[in-house]
Structure 1
Amino acid sequence: MHEVMDRLSPSVFAGLLTVNGVLTYANKAALDAIGVRAEDVLGRPFDSTPWWRFSAQSRQHLREAIQAAGRGLTSRFDVPILDRNGRVRTMDFTLQPVYDDNGNVTYMVPSARDITERRQAERELRLTQFAVDHARGAIFQIDADGRVRYANRAACHMLGYSRRDLTGRSLSDIDSTMTEAAWREHLYELKTQGSARLESLARHSDGTLIPIEVTATYIEYEGEPFSFSYVDDLTARRASEERIHYLTRFDGLTRLPNRTALHECLGQAIETAQRDNTFVAVLIAGLDRLGLINDALGHAGGDEVLHATAERLSECVETHAIVARIGGDEFAIMYTADTQQDAEVESWAQRILDAVSEPLRINDQDICVTCSIGSAAYPTDGTDSGELSKNASSALRRAKSRGRNMHQAYAMAAANRDPERLSLETALRGALKRGELSVHYQPRIDVDTGALAGAEALLRWHHPDKGMVPPARFIPIGEETGLIESIGEWVLRTACEQNRLWRKSGLMPGRIGVNLSARQFRQANLALQVMQLLEETGLDAEHLELELTESMLMEDVDAAIATMTCLKEYGVSIALDDFGTGYSGLSYLKRFPIDTLKIDQSFVREITSDPASAAIADAIIAMALRLNLDVIAEGVETPEQSRLLRESGCRQMQGYLFARPVPAEKLTELMRVGVVGKHR
């Protein structure tokens, strides 16, 4: 018998005990496991040997097992032991009695098998099952027949079923679009692609529909196919998107469309007019002397005037017209007509003048309000929404300067003269070669620590005669002439080289953000150009952030996503600049592979005085955090703005409160002394 036991697997321990529990034999595997010799343990009570030293509870179990074996009973239980290396091993221990010919117990055979790995695997499996069952997200396991084989607690809660009721239920009971044929097609797609993501509507047990996003993975277990699906309830996200969509496109006081919404409608109307050869007009009405009313009645009284004016404008315009509030005291009205002859701009303007000038009853006082109107028409006064709005505003200023309470149409020939434009264009063409252009850096501050979190590279032009030329004056010229492509590449190269120099000298400026122009972004080989430039300058891609605007992304969404995805794969970060002022739908945000949202300074500027701007900023921050995006507030100028933004969860800011844009040498000096921006 000893020979048989010695030949057992190294993981099987075996021995012999007397009826009194004294060890008379132990096989080699048992001795080697704890590093002892036979003479050290044989002849001793089994419960006093090193195998049982680790656990007093196990020793008690052994004594009970020896007594039971004496009565002819077999015992089996798990035993922890310390092996020769001091590691705890788990043994599946069995004690069996052996009988003589008369049926009496003559000795006992203890045996044990090392099950450490198996118990660990079982524990990990239980832990995984517990984690899946208690996960916050809804998780389903669907079999090949389209039936629920497993649903965790979150899934049951989301659909309003008990696990017992949900298990075995057909997928078509939960999602009406997932018919038997649709499920087979979906499962085939999963098998070929490995995974898939889709949006659908799930049916709650009470019949209500829940918008969901499903991320499904194909698995096979013991030859049987399954779909393992993570399901996200989109109800809260959709509500947040709708709220932000409303806040970014409608005025909170008057409930009218805002400037952003007007530009969308105006752009669509111009596209239709270009196709159908029709007519579009924009009238901008500015209230005269609203400041005097605010002084006399307070801002609450001024708000009542604005609200009443909005109602009057909405009532007096034609049904096909759109009324929007585009500024503090300015409203815009967009009209369309089949032909220019059908357009009665003067008649429309007079109707507005008459409606607004009717006395208002505010705080038991009769208030007389008038307005001035400027108008511009497509195609004579402009060919896009921006140009029409700009020219209508120009005409409004002319109306106010001529005495107010009147209408002024835009006179394109007179207003379009810009004697400085040509000379600026000529000078800009040689500015780069003459060294007149430079890059300044505006620090981005972590407001929790006051540390530098990064910086934005900003182009500056010092004209030899005119001094500093505002970027808003020369950048549009660069865009129109195409000069911005070479200038933009120079800015990008300069910022990358400077960042590398800073890092080489031991300074850590964070990511440097560089604004791309629309022309640059439309270049088919942009991603390749950026990577070549990074290679040439020696800067790691992770230290570069490219800032894009919503409008340039919306020109060709699919191409924009492809370019951004390629840049992201290289390791370059993407920031969406001036967020909230462009035209992108919020549904595009999850498609755009971006890292950072930058809140436009127009919202930040009014965050302390305009509840709508504060609500928009708060909603943008909340949405960015929910999408795991960084969020940066631009144009922070006062401690109160900083405080409100911090309370909303914004941790990175830039603006004059912390630091103005400075040359590279100045920022180098500030980093070396350890003070970049004032910590608020």
Structure 2
Amino acid sequence: MRKKSTLRLLAKPPLASQGTDAERLQAVTQALLAFGAHDVVSRIDDLRFRAAVHELPDFFYIKDRSSRFLYANSATARSVGVDDPTTLVGKTDFELWRHEKAVEFMRIEQEIIATGEPRLDVEDWIPPVGDGEMTCRLTSKMPLRNDRNEIIGLIGISRDITERKRQEQLRRRQAEILEMIAKNEPLEAILEALVLLVEEELSGISGSILLLDPDGLHLFRGAAPNLPAAYNKLIDGVAIGPKVGSCGTAAWRGERVIVSDIRTDPLWEDFRGVVSQFNLRSCWSTPIVTAQRNVLGTIALYSPQVREPTESELEMVAVATHIAGIAIERKRAEDRIYFMAHHDDLTGLPNRAFLKDQMARILFQARRHNRRVTVAYIDLDNFKDINDGRGHAAGDDVLKEISARMVNCVRASDIVVRLGGDEFLVVLVHQASHDAGIIRRLRELKRVIARPLKIQGCDIVVTSSIGVASFPDDGHTQEELLANADAAMYRAKNLGRNTMQHYTRQQDTRKSVPLSEEEELRYAIAANQLFVDYQPQIELASGRIVGTEALVRWRHPTLGLLPPSQFIPLAEDTGMIIPLGLFVLNEACRQNKSWQDLGLPPMIVAVNVSAKQFGDPALAEHVVEALQASGLEPQWLELELTESTLMDDAPRALSVMQALKALGVRLSIDDFGTGYSSLSALKTFPFNRLKMDRSLVDALPRDDTTVAIASAVISLARKLKLSVVAEGVETDEQLEFLRESLCDEAQGYLISRPVAPDAIERLLQERKMLASRA
């Protein structure tokens, strides 16, 4: 009775077109299980049920006890590359699949036949037939019994779930990326994982994510793991615009840009030469935007083929763009929160919380690499007077300006912290254990702070008291270093303010009262009241200008133009000669390079080095910085030293001069002939040139003794392969004598007074006139 009712169910014509695939498959299976294997095959034909079975998208087949096919529907036949399902009858899997897979199928099916236990809903990855791809099937295999309940074969049912598995994998990967965002993992790692996911899903595609900078002007690399590294480097930092490839244009427009052929599209006109070498033919870029339509960056897909994206590719990009937007906005929000918690509202400088976070790391690295760390505790002098006299708004402006100056003065690896009020801390890191330039850097920082400010239309000078402590000498922890630097700062205040003191356990009770002249000179250096004139030096044989001497002047606001004789002694006595000398050195290098940039003939610029400046351990470093800042090549700089400067400590002087010579700069001995150690100096030190003192030149050619001395000096210099320049030449007779005596060069009022840089330019243009005079 059960057979007959089932047959009637199968015999209903609408079954071939009614119900879902699963329902039809279940109906067919239930019906076939009621018959023996041979009856089943004939029953399918007899009941004209063939259409219903062959329309099924799922794989349906019947096998005997030896796993030979008795029946297979069209889907099964197509899966093994066969058009006619009947050709499978009598075959086994060994004739259709690779040996390893056929062995696996046979083992499972023989277990089912032997045990009578079905294998239901088993996921199985099936190897491709020909050039196809692996597919995943959900397979059920059940024993087939006869009327005596004997197992005579099996029925197999499979469904291709490859797309479902792909979607599951896609959702799982998307969830993993969202989990990375939730865990606040690095943005670079999140974006790279997102690009890799897109590339896995889309065949033959390379992806990239570019991030728009905070100014909204340039795109920088976010992730592009499989694009050529050289291409990534070339486009990193590209400016956005209406005709800047796909990404730059997409960011500019705020809308998707599809370029199917890079070689012909006008948007890539300016970049074809760059991209042509990388086998990239099409590029589709979509802007990553916030809910308010603000552009955060772009996501781009590159293909080596000329084509446009498919709908599925655009859908994938839409999902990836949404996830990228979440990640980027989350990172920006985190950065804003961190910045607000670790930075000062007024100045934007790091605060105490930031300092606490960073100092442990800085000191750990210093211990590990045997480096020093210096902290400078800075307090602005009399800042309360500014707040009380000009108001808190003026005080805020001062704090902001001073903060900006300090940040611009230190290196990128250093830290400037606002501790509160008018107190700051500068942390100088990455110092070698023997770094001798740290004091020079701190002095420069102090000078920068003291430059006049223009606040509410008035000039204000703010000086500072600075206390310095260094790791490891003055403390091993953050707390020790700050406490000791603070103590040194209060010591600086007690010594009259506007000074810098290094922490010492032995209190120095000396007092220093700054002179008003010193304050004026300090202000002059900071306020650019000093300037440099240049006196030409000519080659006597040709009359052409071959060098200049840099001579500093002071344009005093009340006393007018002051010559060096009126302020150089003050600078020497107060120690201001070092910053003054650095000003002249830097200005002379800058001006000489400026003349060269104008196309004028290159020449040497000579700069006087004072005794105290020569004694500065950082002199060579200062010279390197001046040359690098100006771009002047070292052979065009000459440093003039006096013999008295050298003879006080000859071994040290020789070491310093050798270091300077190693840089490539020239050295000359100034005022030669006025002391008793000149000959020894010429023998000991590596000079390039000597300057004959004006006291000798002044008596030429009238005084026979002076003539003999000058002739001897010139002859000696030539034997020592030194050039000679005579300074103070004021008459034609002096010039003629020097020329006849084979003196190399001359300078003085007869040739030119010290003049401004633009006058030197005119003299160089008119050098033919000088040559005719010579």
Give the TM-score, by structure 1 length. 0.37
Of the two, which has the highest radius of gyration?
2
Give the TM-score, by structure 2 length. 0.33
